[in-house]
Amino acid sequence: MLNGAELVERGEEQWDSARAAWNLAVDQRPAKVARPGDADEVAAVVRYARENGLRVAVQAAGHSAGALAGVGEDTLLLKTARMTEAEIDAENRRALVGAGAKWQDVSALASPQGLSGLSGSSAEVGVVGYTLGGGHGWLARQHGLACNSVVGAEVVTADGQLLRADRENEPDLFWALRGGGGNFGVVTALEFELYPVPEVYAGMFAWPWERTSDVLHAWREWVSGLPNEMGTWARVLQVPPLPFIPEPVRGRQLVVVEAAYLGSEESGGELLRPLRDLSPELGTFAAVPPAALGHVHMDPEDPVPFAMSGQLLDELPPAAIDSIVEAAGPDSGSMLLSLELRQLGGAQTTAPPDAGALASLDQAFLTLGVGMVMGPDMAPAINAQLDAVCSALEPWDSGVKYANFVDVPTDTSTFYPSETFDRLQEVKARYDPEDLFRANHPIPCSTAAG
Ligand SMILES: Cc1cc2nc3c(=O)[nH]c(=O)nc-3n(C[C@H](O)[C@H](O)[C@H](O)COP(=O)(O)OP(=O)(O)OC[C@H]3O[C@@H](n4cnc5c(N)ncnc54)[C@H](O)[C@@H]3O)c2cc1C
C-alpha cells in the first residue's frame, strides 16, 4: 500500500491481472502497478513515482494500450479502475465522474432521466480517456465532440498538486486537456454537459456481404441529404463465432448500416426508407432509451486482442466505395473483423466558442478498420491488411489523424494544426516539464517554453 493506494509489484499473485490491458494483444511490463482510490492517493502515487525515477502511464482499462505500446521498466502504471464514481445533476444537465468511470456508469444514471452524454460506440470505454482524445459518438452531428462538452476537470499535475481546470482556473490546461490527451496530469474527476434525449430511434440493418457494393454505394448517396439529428455508420463485418456475440450475426459475413436518430420513430422510419427498400435480412430499429446507444454497434464487453487504424477522409466519391469493397469486401481475402465508415458533418465541423485543443473534425468521413489478433503470429497479417485499407483510401485521406482511432505509436503532430500542436507543447512544458506522464499519444515539451 502507498498512502492508501494499492501497489502491486512483480512476483505478487495479482501481478498479471494488475498489469493486463483491455487490449489483450498488448503485453505491459511496467516497473509497478498502482491502483489509487481517490485524488489524494493519486497525488501520493505521482510523488512516489517521481521520487523513484519512474514515469507514470495512466490507464482506465487499457482500450488504447496499443498506442501506449507496452509500458516497460521505467514506468509505473497508474490504473484508475477503482475510481468509478459517477453522479449527475439532472436539473442542470451535468455529470461528474471519477477517473475510472466507463460510459455505462454515466448512462445508467442519465438515461432514466432522459439525458445522454456524448458517448461513442461502446458502453465499456472509459469516459476520461475517450473524452481527452476528442470523443466522436452517435450524437456528434447534433452536439459535437465530447471534449467540447467538458466544463471542468480535477487534475493531479507532475508536482503532485491537485488543480481545478476550467474556463476561469488554469485556462491553458483546460484547453489542452480537451483533445490533447493524458499528457498533462492525472484527471481525477471530469465534469461535462448532458443533453436531453428522452428517446432515440436507433438500430441496424444487415445484408449478406455479397451485397457490400450496392449497400455501401446506396448508403453513400443516402447520407448526403441527412439532417444533423441522424448519426450513421456503415461497415463490412466478419463476425467471429464467439459466444458474447448476438445469435443473428454470430459467425456471419455482413454489410451493415447503423444509425441513431434524435426524433420520432415515424420520421426516423421515413428517413430510413431508402435503406429499408434494399430489403435487409436483419433490422433492429426501435425507439430506445439513450443507454441503448452503447450496444447498437455490438462492441465486445470483455477484453479482446485487437489491432485497429482509422483515417479522416475529405470526401467519399463512388471510387472510394469501390476501393473499400476491393480491400475489405467479398473476394478481398480480408481477415478484418470490421471496416467501418462514419459520416461526420454537423456540429462537430465547426469549432464552438472557447473550444479545446481538438476544436472540430471538419473532414467528411471517419474510417476505422479493426482486426482480431488471436495470437502474436496473426499480428503481421492483420497489420498488413489495415495498411492495405489505408493505402486504398489514400487518394481521399485528409492527412490528419483522429487520436482515438490511432492505436499504434504515431507522430502526434499529425493530429493537430501546427499552431495547436505548438501550444500543446508549451502547455506540456509548463505543467510537465520533465515529461513524467507517458500518454498513449505523447506531446513532447516545447523546447522554447521549457
Ligand atoms: C471497443 C472500442 C470502441 C471505441 N469506440 C470509440 C468511439 O466510438 N469513438 C471514439 O472517439 N473513440 C472510440 N474508441 C477509442 C477510445 O476512445 C480510445 O481508445 C480511448 O483512449 C479509450 O480511453 P480508455 O480510458 O478507455 O482507455 P485507456 O487505454 O485506459 O486510456 C487511454 C489513454 O487516455 C489517457 N487517460 C486515461 N485516463 C486518464 C486519466 N484519468 N487522466 C489522464 N489521462 C488519462 C492516457 O493517456 C491513456 O493512455 C473505442 C475503442 C475501443 C477499444
For 138-152, how does the pLDDT look when each residue is reduced to its tens digit (9 = 90+)?
Answer: 999 999 999 999 999
Mean pLDDT of 340-349: 98
Q: In the beta sheet, which residues pair with residue 312?
A: 366
Element (H, E) at 424: helix 418-431
Write out pLDDT tens, residues 50-64: 999 999 999 999 999
Cα-based distances in Å from 314 to 31, 32, 140, 320, 327: 43, 43, 17, 11, 19
Query: Scanning the structure block, which residue is given the C-alpha cell 481475402?
Result: 333
d(CA 444, CA 273): 49
Write out pLDDT tens, residues 82-127: 999 999 999 999 999 999 999 999 999 999 999 999 999 999 999 9
Residue closest by Cα to atom 45 of ligand 1: 182
Backbone torsions φ then ψ of 371, nearest 5 degrees: -130, 140
Residue closest by Cα to atom 23 of ligand 1: 129
Query: Scanning the structure block, which residue is given the C-alpha cell 515529461?
Result: 435
pTM of the model: 0.97
Mean pLDDT of 192-197: 98
Residue closest by Cα to atom 18 of ligand 1: 404
Q: Mutate which of 23, 35, 63, 244 to test ligand 1's pocket (most atoms within 8 Å of Cβ)?
A: 63
pLDDT band per the 50, 70, 90 thresholds, residue 449: very low
Backbone torsions φ then ψ of 436, nearest 5 degrees: -65, -40
Residue 447 has pLDDT above 80, yes or no: no
Measured from the Cα of 407, ligand 1's closest atom is 19
Ligand 1 geometric centre to CA of 365 (Å): 20
- Strands 32-35, 75-79: parallel, antiparallel or unpaired by DSSP? parallel
Mean pLDDT of 268-279: 98
Higher pLDDT, 375 or 125: 125
Residue 372 has pLDDT above 70, yes or no: yes
Q: In what order do the strands lie in the sheet with 150-156?
A: 86-89, 94-98, 186-193, 150-156, 162-165
Neighbours of 126 (CB within 10 A): 26
Ligand 1 geometric centre to CA of 126 (Å): 6
Residue 244 has pLDDT above 80, yes or no: no
DSSP assignment of 196-227: E-S-EEEEEEEEEGGGHHHHHHHHHHHHTT--
Please say whether the beta carbons of 254 and 207 come within 8 A.
Answer: yes
Question: Which burial class, exposed, middle or buried, applies to 261 when counting CB atoms under 10 A from its CB (0-12, 13-18, 19+)?
Answer: buried
pLDDT band per the 50, 70, 90 thresholds, residue 75: very high
Please say whether the beta carbons of 83 and 99 come within 8 A.
Answer: yes
Mean pLDDT of 264-282: 97
Closest CA to 237 of 405, 137, 393, 371: 371
Ligand 1 geometric centre to CA of 24 (Å): 15
Q: Mutate which of 118, 125, 127 to test ligand 1's pocket (most atoms within 8 Å of Cβ)?
A: 125
Give the DSSP letter of residue 444.
P
Res 87: pLDDT:
98
Mean pLDDT of 203-212: 97
Q: Mutate which of 130, 136, 187, 412 to test ligand 1's pocket (most atoms within 8 Å of Cβ)?
A: 130
Q: Mutate which of 64, 132, 155 to test ligand 1's pocket (most atoms within 8 Å of Cβ)?
A: 64
Mean pLDDT of 150-156: 98
Q: In the beta sheet, which residues pair with residue 76?
A: 32, 56
Q: Which three cell numbers stand for residue 30?
A: 511496467
Cα 23 vs. chain centroid, distance in angstroms?
13
- CA end-to-end span of the chain: 34
Mean per-residue pLDDT over the chain, rounded: 96
Q: Torsion-angle region of residue 40: left (phi > 0), alpha (psi -120 to 50) or beta?
A: alpha
| Helices marked H in 63-166 | 65-68, 103-110, 127-132, 140-143
Measured from the Cα of 62, ligand 1's closest atom is 29
Cα-based distances in Å from 271 to 180, 235, 267, 274: 36, 19, 6, 7
Mean pLDDT of 398-424: 96
Give the DSSP letter of residue 339.
E
Percent of the chain with pLDDT over 70: 99
Measured from the Cα of 185, ligand 1's closest atom is 43
Q: Which three cell numbers stand for residue 208?
A: 449478406
d(CA 90, CA 106): 12
Res 240: pLDDT:
87
Mean pLDDT of 33-57: 98
Cα-based distances in Å from 265 to 49, 186, 203, 337, 443: 54, 42, 11, 31, 45
- Strands 86-89, 94-98: parallel, antiparallel or unpaired by DSSP? antiparallel
pLDDT band per the 50, 70, 90 thresholds, residue 247: confident
Ligand 1 geometric centre to CA of 124 (Å): 10
Give the DSSP letter of residue 230.
E
Residue 70 has pLDDT above 80, yes or no: no
